[in-house]
Structure 1
């Protein structure tokens, strides 16, 4: 299966100069635990999670009011193409220790793949296999 088959297209983004208060409000309003941080041209710069807000923002050494997304976002991010194989993305996510991956096509952000997306995909595959097994033993 290809990434485009499971990627979410409704990606929440913030600019690199967004205040942490604005980032937190965006996460709250959009009901997400992470945002993709983009530069002024819309190019993916990194990811910022609710955990980043707490650990590096609130519990950091500087006043939260002085911080912007650029100060704390995670840069250990890689992007994938919609045509990449899901299995390859899973392997890379494991190797890199990340739970979210932006999906970029021709330089533009078009989606995101999360651990949740992968688990839902996998559970559907397991359910299909279970149906085969159940079919072998009719009630």
Structure 2
């Protein structure tokens, strides 16, 4: 199965000048764990995750002052929609991250998370009737 079949097409895009609180509020409203950060003044795309916000607040930084552009990950691995779920999972394991931005052409077309991959693989196993019961 390809990532296009499992990715969320609801991409939350924000700018680098949003505060961390604004980003957290939007992520919560959209029920997503990551936001794609697009800087109109550069050609770069970054990602801000729940963990990035958690780390900033845990370090005592003010979420009403801190800007997303200072806390995003910009060294990203992008995936085309034609990657397999295995390729996406392998990239996530190698890079130590839980979200992957899917790029179709030059624009983000989706985000796939570890949760998306687990959901699809679990459904596939269930549909094959290969669900095992827990051992006691």
Shorter-normalised TM range = 0.7 to 0.9
Aligned to 2:52: 52
RMSD: 2.4
Per mean C-alpha deviation after superposition, the further-off stretch among 44-53 and 66-75 is 44-53
Residue correspondences, number: 132
Task: Kindly state the Cα deviation for residue 115 of structure 1 after the two structures are TM-superposed.
Answer: 0.6
**How many Å separate the matches in 2 of 1:90 and 1:9?**
18
Indicate conservation of the 8 Å contact 1:8/1:112, yes or no. yes
SS in 1 for 2:79: coil
Q: Residues 8 and 43 from structure 1, CA distance in 2 versus in 1: closer, same or farther, beyond 3 angstroms?
A: farther
**How many Å separate the matches in 2 of 1:52 and 1:34?**
9
Per mean C-alpha deviation after superposition, the further-off stretch among 11-20 and 34-43 is 34-43
For structure 1, list consecutive stretches of 5 or more residues without a partner in the other structure: 132-139
Aligned to 1:114: 113
**How many Å separate the matches in 2 of 1:59 and 1:50?**
12
What are the within-5 Å matches in structure 2 for residues 1-139 of structure 1? Answer: 1-40=1-40, 45-56=45-56, 58-60=57-59, 62-130=61-129
Ranges of 4+ aligned residues in structure 1 off by more than 4 Å: 41-44
For structure 2, list consecutive stretches of 5 or more residues without a partner in the other structure: 131-136
Task: Kindly state the Cα deviation for residue 122 of structure 1 after the two structures are TM-superposed.
Answer: 0.7
Task: Kindly state the Cα deviation for residue 104 of structure 1 after the two structures are TM-superposed.
Answer: 0.4
TM-score norm. by structure 1 comes to: 0.82
